[in-house]
């Protein structure tokens, strides 16, 4: 499993290309030779970039779902909607398809934010709004998610 670290401000050119910052490329060393999977986020108005090996792990979980249960089929269809396989070009850029730029509301300035084993791609303004959302009490959220040692013991 990959453990990515960092938040990087980048720009999208008029063709939809984003240069992957060198610090992030170093963390992805060994996986940049294979393709990435780009998809819509389930919960946020951003995109998720999966290294191929991380996508395979996710698909192993999804493939265990019983396709004869309607809600499973509905989930799979929506989860994989708009999924694209993309590669780094020779200049270290990824090309974001126009439809995914539109659904994620990407403008010129974007943020690539590590999210453990994937990279979230956000419009910079939307990212800042999300991170600084006054409706979310981050201290309380942290306590709820991480505070109960008995629930979180592996």
In a domain, 45, yes or no: yes
| Structure letter (DSSP) for residue 12 | B
Report the pLDDT value the prediction gives residue 97, as an integer from 0 to 100. 96
Tokens 């994620």 map to which residue?
104
Split into its structural domains, the chain has a count of 1
pLDDT at 153: 54
pTM of structure: 0.90
* Cβ-contact 82, 139 below 8 angstroms: no
Alpha-carbon distance of 27 to 72, in angstroms, equals 34
Q: Profile the chain (154 residues) by mean pLDDT over runs of 10 residues.
A: 91 96 89 84 96 94 96 96 93 95 96 96 97 92 84 54
Structural contact between residues 46 and 122, judged by C-beta atoms closer than 8 angstroms: yes
Question: What is the span of the domain harbouring residue 90?
Answer: 7-124
CA atoms of 130 and 138, how far apart (whole Å) = 12
In a domain, 18, yes or no: yes
For residue 30, what pLDDT is reported?
Answer: 75
Contact (Cβ atoms closer than 8 angstroms) between residue 81 and residue 9? no
Inter-residue contact 52 to 2 (CB < 8 Å): no
In a domain, 130, yes or no: no
Residue 150 lies in a domain: no
- Report if residue 51 sits inside a domain: yes
Please give the pLDDT value at position 32.
Answer: 65
- Domain membership of residue 153 (yes or no) is no
Q: With respect to residue 154, please indicate whether it lies within any of the assigned structural domains.
A: no
Q: Looking at residue 116, which CATH number applies to its domain?
A: 3.40.1550.20
């Amino acid at each position: 499993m990959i453990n990515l670290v960092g938040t990087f401000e980048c720009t999208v050119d008029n063709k939809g290309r984003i240069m992957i910052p060198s610090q992030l490329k170093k963390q992805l060393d060994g996986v940049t030779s294979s393709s990435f999977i780009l998809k819509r986020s389930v919960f946020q108005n951003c995109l998720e970039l999966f290294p191929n090996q991380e996508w395979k792990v996710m698909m192993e979980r999804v493939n265990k779902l019983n396709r004869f249960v309607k809600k499973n089929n509905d989930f799979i269809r929506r989860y994989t909607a708009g999924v694209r396989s993309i590669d780094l070009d020779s200049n270290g850029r990824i090309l974001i398809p126009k439809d995914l730029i539109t659904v994620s509301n990407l403008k010129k300035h974007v943020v690539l934010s590590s999210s453990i084993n994937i990279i979230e791609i956000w419009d910079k303004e939307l990212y800042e709004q999300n991170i600084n959302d006054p409706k979310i009490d981050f201290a309380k959220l942290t306590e709820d998610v991480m505070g109960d040692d008995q629930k979180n013991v592996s």
